[in-house]
A and B are shown apart, each in its own frame.
Chain A
Amino acid sequence: MNAEVKSGQNQATLELQNVSRSYGDEWSQEHIIADFSLTVESNKLTVLVGPSGCGKSTLVNLIAGFDKPDSGKILLNGKQVTGPGQDRMVVFQETALMPWQTTRQNVVFGPKLRGERSDADIDAEANRLLDKVGLAEFKDKYPIQLSGGMQRRAELARAMINHPLIMIMDEPFRGLDAMSRELMQEFFVRLYEENRRTNLFVTSEIEEAIFLADRLVVLSNRPTSVRKVIDITLPRPRDFHMLSSTEAYEYKREAMELLHEEAMRSFNRASGSGLMDAIAGGGGGD
């Protein structure tokens, strides 16, 4: 185990080199990810956006080490990823807090198991983090007793206490109502701007993507690869007003057009006709 790295200064570059993954038997293989190459730059917030069902979660599983690529390499700071580890923390789509542990027990779970630090140290940091995510009063509640937004914040705290090199967020705000979602986005962007930890954020919402991202990666349809990388140069700290600027509008238009093309391609392939092309001719790419 590496010596503890001070948060905010940790350099972490994640490289995906020609990664491919397919499922199924030899005679009916489905290629989910093909020849995927991307460098997730250190201390930046990289957002992956793609049509739903395009294999984003498969990608997350590969990076997290739950799954292995058929070919290609995944390197974190030059070292190949071979399995799950606390240098890459995943915040899951639906909450994965252990329902049988209180909020505080959930947060201290990882560090206490590994026993790299003293319990007093862990408890102190847990309290600080819970305070920070606004759950100090809820630390002895069970996850089921928290609202959706609180659960996501608890999960953020559970990830952050491990000082990961990179945070991987797999559509973390999915399933929240519009209001909580907006609040969580604002909260999350503040958190990121505080220490600029390398972050890979996966979403299917374009506005969310533009609001958060330093770099926006638009994914192609299945088999998934990188369609285009757009650098988002909106100033930081971000706030929601920026989304109505012309600059943001341009990003949005560009991303929408790319995604629309990709979605259309899959629709046509699925329905086996060019029907949607005719419809798209009029109203597409708004």
Chain B
Amino acid sequence: MTLYRFKKALSTPTPYLMFFGIALWLGCYYLFVEGWQLPRFNKLPGPVEVITEWLNPNPDWGMSLFTPIYYEHTLVSCRRILIAFAIATGVGVPLGLFMGWSKTFRDYSFPILETLRPIPILAWVPLAILMFSGLETPVIYLATLASLFVTTLNTLLGVDSIDEEYFRAARCLGAKPHHVFMHVVIPGALPFIFTGLQISIGVAWFSLVAAEMVSGEFGLGYLIVDAYMNVTYVIMVIGMLTLGFVGWFSAALVRIAGNRMMEWRVRALALEGR
């Protein structure tokens, strides 16, 4: 089955286009920095230098795929994201569902959400430091906050998007309010919830790195700033690319979880040829 899928994927243009896209990007990067050595890029490490260092068992700058410190930074960031994302989802989804479901609850909670939401996450940094001691909690708090707003708002919009007919049909069939909540509100909002979760995990990474740059002694954000300060630009680029890969991977995990929970939607999209 896996082999069949793999073969089928190879018969479509997708993998080739992906490969071509990456090659094009890497090619430009190489030409600008190492090939033509354009003045704007002369301080940056080129792709050859970065990849050699990344795969070097005895790295010149002290960090590569073979050193434990690299994994320590990555894992610290991943763990923070996991905690922040779990809290934000655990609070944001129920909050959004209730706001969408109950007009009363929405009336008094929506203005607060809408006032807090536009405050940039960096503006919360001092407050986070004042409120929480240590280095770990403020960072997680900031990432949680950013992704909480996105999740709540998307869940709320998800409930709004449910066609009135489904509520009527359920009530006609004798559903009590808690049945409606379980069988109409939650499944009906799921597509929006998962779109929201994909955005929210991106936002979580974004604010985590910002927070790590301001405070912290571990994590990819810290690594990037630290490398910049120490003029070890190769490590800075390695940190950035690592961030790109783990970010992509985490978003993919959310997408897979979503597809698992919404088989009906996967089939619907498949029928539209997507």
Residues of A within 8 A of B (CB): 64, 66, 83-86, 88-90, 92, 94, 96-101, 109-110, 113-114, 142, 144-145, 158, 162
Contact = CB atoms under 8 A, between A and B. Distances in A.
A109 B187 CA distance: 14
A142 B265 CA distance: 9
Contacts of A96: 163, 165-166, 168-169
Contact of A92 (B168, B171, B271): B168
B267 A89 contact: no
A94 B171 CA distance: 17
Contact of B169 (A98, A114, A142): A98
27 contacts: A64-B168, A66-B171, A84-B172, A85-B174, A86-B172, A86-B173, A89-B173, A90-B168, A94-B165, A96-B165, A96-B166, A96-B169, A98-B169, A98-B187, A99-B264, A99-B265, A100-B188, A100-B190, A100-B265, A101-B264, A109-B173, A113-B174, A113-B175, A142-B264, A142-B268, A144-B271, A145-B267
A162 B175 CA distance: 13
Contacts of B268: 99, 142, 144
Interface of B: 163, 165-166, 168-176, 179, 183-184, 187-188, 190, 262-265, 267-268, 271
A114 B179 CA distance: 10
A4 to B, nearest CB: 14
Contact of A144 (B172, B173, B264): B264
Query: Among the interface residues B166, B169, B184, B187, which one has the most CB atoms of the partner chain A within 10 A?
Result: B169
Contact of A66 (B163, B168, B271): B168
A109 B172 CA distance: 11
A98 B265 CA distance: 12
B190 A92 contact: no
Contacts of B262: 100
Given A86-B174, A109-B183, A100 B169 contact: no
Contacts of A113: 173-176, 179, 183
B172 A98 contact: no
Contact of A100 (B171, B179, B187): B187
A6 B13 CA distance: 60
A144 B267 contact: yes
Contact of A145 (B169, B171, B271): B271
Q: Interface residues of A: mostly helix, strand, loop or mixed?
A: loop
Contacts of B175: 110, 113
Contacts of B166: 96, 98
A162 B267 CA distance: 29
Contacts of B179: 113
A143 to B, nearest CB: 8
A142 B172 contact: no
B128 to A, nearest CB: 39
A162 B169 CA distance: 13
A163 to B, nearest CB: 12
A69 to B, nearest CB: 17
> Can you list the 7 inter-chain pairs with the closest CB atoms, starting with the nearest?
A110-B173, A100-B187, A96-B165, A96-B169, A84-B171, A142-B264, A144-B268
Contacts of B188: 100
B183 A110 contact: no
Contacts of A64: 168, 172
Given A98-B183, A113-B173, A114-B174, 12 more contacts: A90-B168, A90-B169, A96-B165, A98-B184, A100-B187, A100-B190, A109-B183, A113-B175, A144-B267, A144-B271, A145-B271, A158-B173
Nearest to A66: B168
Nearest to B187: A100
Contacts of B176: 113
Nearest to B271: A144
A162 B173 contact: yes
Nearest to A87: B174
Nearest to B168: A66
B264 A89 contact: no
A165 B247 CA distance: 57
Contacts of A86: 172-174
B44 to A, nearest CB: 49
A153 to B, nearest CB: 16
Contacts of A90: 168-169, 172
B51 to A, nearest CB: 46
B164 to A, nearest CB: 9
A263 to B, nearest CB: 27
Nearest to B169: A96
Contacts of A85: 172, 174
Contacts of B173: 86, 89, 109-110, 113, 158, 162
Query: Among the interface residues B190, B268, B271, which one has the most CB atoms of the partner chain A within 10 A?
Result: B268
B192 to A, nearest CB: 13
A8 B190 CA distance: 41
B147 to A, nearest CB: 25
